[in-house]
């Protein structure tokens, strides 16, 4: 359902060398325990790319193939249409339908980028106009895919579109696609990095302006989350879907998600993964260097989803489970 704006990777790249630690307010007998997600035989590096609304499913990738974990059980997605092509999943529903992008090599160099919907072990490449390319960024539990299209000749000019489960695609203007919920409420950001975003009614096209929203942005559990610069520094902001400001979290920069208990997961300053609850902030002290360039989230059980990086630069998808003994 949700997808963070790609600008998040620029912030995350600053934190790779930072160590992290257990929640500072927790009792000594409680800690996060890492559980590596399984990988195909022989694969030594992979990453998370998205998770479902209830977090029972996670999508990721390695090399040119897509991966789906269902309650931590691994399924490798079918190979791309071309043997030398690439599958890049980006989102998954609670029932395992995946959205993403295939990169299909063209004769003479270059590739054709096409958004897809994937279910029953088969890809449906989504409709484009002549001369267009596309990318799939998000999906809701009804199977509606949100993404962007662009003319091959002008790749920097992108239009946000929805491919409904049934019926023709719908366009919502220039920008970047961020997320879509079950009611077809769409979060999109401005065409250029910086301020401005919109909540769009995917059925009617009516837009609600979010004038102070700043990438990276997330749509999760009925909230728009982004960061801003305040008088005392950066902070994460929670907005309702009408644009009303509901909460702020001092020190936050890179926001990943929010669970249904109101816990927000992000980074404090640049380097420190942290959790903001109504009672305050706690640092998430993990046993590996958390890499915020990849998808991350917090589940309703406060389990953290993400990717860590080893000293050899390999990346590994994992869950960190809060365990008290």
Where b means 16+ CB within 10 Å and e means fewer, 233-261 reads ebbbbbbebebeeebebebbbbbbbbbee
Phi, psi of 8 (to 5 degrees): -55, -35
Looking at residue 215, its pLDDT comes to: 85
Tell whether 247 is covered by a domain: yes
Tell whether 3 is covered by a domain: no
User: Which residues in the chain come in under a pLDDT of 70?
Assistant: 1-28, 193-195
Tell whether 1 is covered by a domain: no
Tell whether 212 is covered by a domain: yes
pTM of the shown model: 0.90
- Kindly write down the DSSP assignment for every residue of 32-84, as one continuous string: EEEEEPP--TT----EEEEE-TTSSEEEEEETTEEEEEETTEEEEPPPPSSTT
Tell whether 115 is covered by a domain: yes
Tell whether 204 is covered by a domain: yes
Tell whether 198 is covered by a domain: yes
CATH of the domain at 221: 2.130.10.10
Q: Cβ distance 33 to 320 under 8 Å? A: yes
Q: 309 forms bridges with which residues in the sheet? A: 289, 315
pLDDT digits (tens, 9 = 90+) for 221-276: 999 999 998 888 999 999 999 999 999 999 999 999 999 999 999 999 877 999 99
Looking at residue 312, its pLDDT comes to: 95
In angstroms, rounded to a whole number, what is the distance separating the alpha carbons of residues 243 and 214? 13
Tell whether 42 is covered by a domain: yes
Q: Which residue has the tokens 């929203």?
A: 213
Range of the domain at 80: 8-324
- Kindly write down the DSSP assignment for every residue of 168-186, as one continuous string: --EEEEESEEEEE-TT-EE
Looking at residue 17, its pLDDT comes to: 35
Looking at residue 194, its pLDDT comes to: 66
Residues 6+ apart with CB under 8 A from 185: 199, 200, 201, 202, 219, 241
Domain count of the fold of the chain: 1
């Amino acid at each position: 359902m949700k997808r963070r704006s790609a600008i998040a990777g620029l912030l995350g790249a600053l934190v790779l060398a930072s160590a992290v630690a257990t929640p500072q307010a927790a009792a000594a007998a409680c800690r996060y325990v890492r559980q590596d997600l399984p990988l195909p035989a022989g694969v030594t590096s992979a990453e998370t790319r998205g998770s479902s609304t209830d977090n029972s499913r996670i999508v990721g990738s390695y090399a040119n193939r897509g991966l789906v974990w269902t309650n931590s059980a691994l399924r490798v997605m079918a190979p791309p249409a071309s043997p030398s092509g690439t599958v890049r999943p980006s989102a998954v529903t609670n029932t395992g339908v995946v959205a993403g992008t295939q990169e299909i090599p063209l004769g003479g160099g270059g590739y054709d980028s096409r958004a897809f919907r994937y279910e029953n072990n088969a890809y449906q490449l989504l409709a484009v106009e002549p001369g267009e390319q596309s990318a799939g960024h998000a999906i809701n539990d009804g199977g509606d895919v949100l993404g962007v299209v662009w003319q091959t000749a002008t790749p920097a000019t992108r239009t946000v579109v929805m491919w409904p489960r049934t019926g023709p695609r719908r366009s919502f203007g220039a920008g970047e696609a961020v997320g879509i919920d079950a009611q077809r409420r769409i979060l999109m950001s401005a065409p250029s990095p910086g301020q401005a975003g919109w909540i769009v009614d995917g059925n009617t096209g009516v837009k609600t302006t979010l004038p102070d929203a700043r990438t990276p942005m997330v749509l999760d559990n009925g909230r728009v989350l982004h960061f801003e610069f305040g008088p005392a520094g950066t902070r994460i902001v929670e907005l309702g879907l009408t644009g009303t400001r509901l909460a702020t979290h001092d020190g936050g920069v890179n926001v990943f998600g929010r669970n249904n208990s109101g816990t927000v997961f992000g980074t404090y300053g640049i380097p420190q993964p942290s959790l903001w609850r109504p009672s305050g902030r706690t640092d998430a002290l993990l046993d590996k260097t958390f890499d915020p360039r990849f998808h991350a989230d917090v589940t309703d059980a406060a389990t953290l989803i993400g990717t860590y990086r080893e000293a050899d630069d390999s990346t590994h998808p994992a869950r960190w489970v809060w365990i008290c003994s």
